[in-house]
Amino acid sequence: MHGPDWEGDSALVWQGPIWRMGGPKGASMPGWPDDVDLGSSTANANRIPAAVLLHLDDPAARFGLAMALADIGRLRAEVPIIALTRSGSSLPDPLPRAHALVDASIPSDALFRMICSLQRAILRTEEARLRRMVFGRVPRFGAAPHHSGGSGLLVIGLGSRFMDLFDARARNVTLVGALTADMGETYLSQRAFDAVILDTPADDAADIIERLRRDARFARVPVLVIAEQDKDLDALFRAGANDVLGSELGKRQLAARLASAIRLGRRRRLADRVLAESRVWLLQEAGRGGLPVDKYDRYLAGCRALCTPRGLVLSELHLMPKIETPLLPSAALSGDMTGAILSVADATSREEDLVCAVRGLGPVAVLKGEQGGPLLQRRIAAILGQTTL
């Protein structure tokens, strides 16, 4: 993130029902979507769900799991799949591939935020893939250190479970230990990690999560916490943990939950790298006249294909203001405004929003959804209205 985010990770990017297989129905919290039993006839593959919840400990869910996965596979777009289980439970074999495999005791409000975060993570991955396909590899840009490196897990605290984690990780995953939070942040700034595991007392873990979430470089790194007492699970999830590993976690379940976090983290860092590099390249292209119109049109077509199945409206904003507006006196609009407008738009948008210049069109922004457009334009007008260019 490089600017204020009007959606954040606490609002659904796209609406839709929750498809549920097994487990309790619904959640007692405002904003929770309609809850639909995936085994019932009301589950409609023509309407994209907000997410799919698979309660793996429910015998009914295990019985219908293959059919549920087939229904999910027929969807027109990728949606978050969250598998829920308890520490002492055995996992089905084969284990369904999910975006998250977490403890079933996760509170409803934390689960809702997880759904929102996973929706955005999926869109970021698809946006990165689209940019790579349309714009190609960005030349002459090396990745920042926190985007570079092979698959790895960072353990902060070096408590009682380090050897268990070492045995449970995949053999191609590097495990690095850090005694303190300061040492952990130093390691995070030097190379990429797929996930962070906190093996510390619960209060310390909550403080470390807050520190990581405040740093834009690490804000989306999956964070898992080892909890010695089950009473700490709710507080740790609400503090922002992606998963909480309870004391009764067996080796197979520990390995599966680590693998789930690593998959999510690997997708995140690859998307972050492409989006960060393309952002710099697009701003530099503006100084050379901007993108060719045909390349921009290809991007728009691909972006609409990502948005339409989810019911998202693509907002294409032409950012060059008119000369005479109450907020922008003509005396303030001297010189070439393109660079200034792009800088303001870039600073107040999300990395997955396209901000660029297009030959013949000037500065533009492409947003997924309608909420951010008016706010972005007001910010540009307000800032430029106070700036002599």
Task: Give the span between the Cα atoms of 226 and 247, in whole angstroms.
Answer: 8
- Cis peptide, bond prior to residue 363, ω within 30 of zero: no
The tally of CA atoms less than 13 A away on the side-chain side of residue 75 is 25
Task: Provide CB contacts within 8 A for 33, sequence distance 6+.
Answer: 12, 15, 16, 17, 18, 50
Condensed to tens digits (0 to 9), the pLDDT of residues 270-324 reads 998 899 889 889 988 888 889 999 999 999 999 999 999 999 989 888 887 654 4
Residue 297 is predicted with a pLDDT of 96
Residue 198 — very low, low, confident or very high, per pLDDT cuts 50/70/90?
A: very high
Residue 54 is predicted with a pLDDT of 92
The helix (run of H) or strand (run of E) holding residue 182 is: helix 181-190
Q: What percent of the chain has pLDDT over 70?
A: 85
The domains of the chain are located at: 18-276, 288-385
Residue 162 is predicted with a pLDDT of 81
> What DSSP string runs through 93-159?
SSPPP-SEEEETT--HHHHHHHHHHHHHHHHHHHHHHHHHHHH-SPTT-PPPGGG-SSSEEEEES--
Condensed to tens digits (0 to 9), the pLDDT of residues 126-169 reads 999 999 999 988 766 666 777 777 888 999 997 777 888 888 78
Residue 373 is predicted with a pLDDT of 67
Residue recorded with tokens 């503090």: 239
Residue recorded with tokens 């309608």: 370
Burial 62-71, CB ≥16 within 10 A → b, else e: bebbeebbeb
Task: Provide CB contacts within 8 A for 150, sequence distance 6+.
Answer: 172, 174
Task: Give the span between the Cα atoms of 148 and 161, in whole angstroms.
Answer: 27
Q: Which token pair is 123?
A: 């869109």
CA atoms 132, 134, 140, 146: torsion sign? negative
Residue 292 is predicted with a pLDDT of 94
> Is 27 within 8 Å of 112 (Cβ atoms)?
yes
CATH of 18-276, one of 3.30.470.20, 3.60.21.10, 3.10.25.10, 3.40.50.2300: 3.40.50.2300
User: What rounded mean pLDDT belongs to the chain?
Assistant: 83
> Is 115 within 8 Å of 86 (Cβ atoms)?
no
Mean pLDDT along residues 195-221 = 93
Q: Which token pair is 86?
A: 């308890």
Q: Tell me the β-bridge partners of 82.
A: 53, 100
Regarding beta strands 223-226 and 243-245, do their DSSP bridges make them parallel or antiparallel, or are they unpaired? parallel
Condensed to tens digits (0 to 9), the pLDDT of residues 236-281 reads 999 999 999 987 788 899 999 999 999 999 999 899 889 988 988 9
Task: Give the span between the Cα atoms of 326 and 345, in whole angstroms.
Answer: 20
Condensed to tens digits (0 to 9), the pLDDT of residues 320-378 reads 765 444 544 443 444 467 777 787 777 777 888 899 999 988 899 998 876 666 667 67
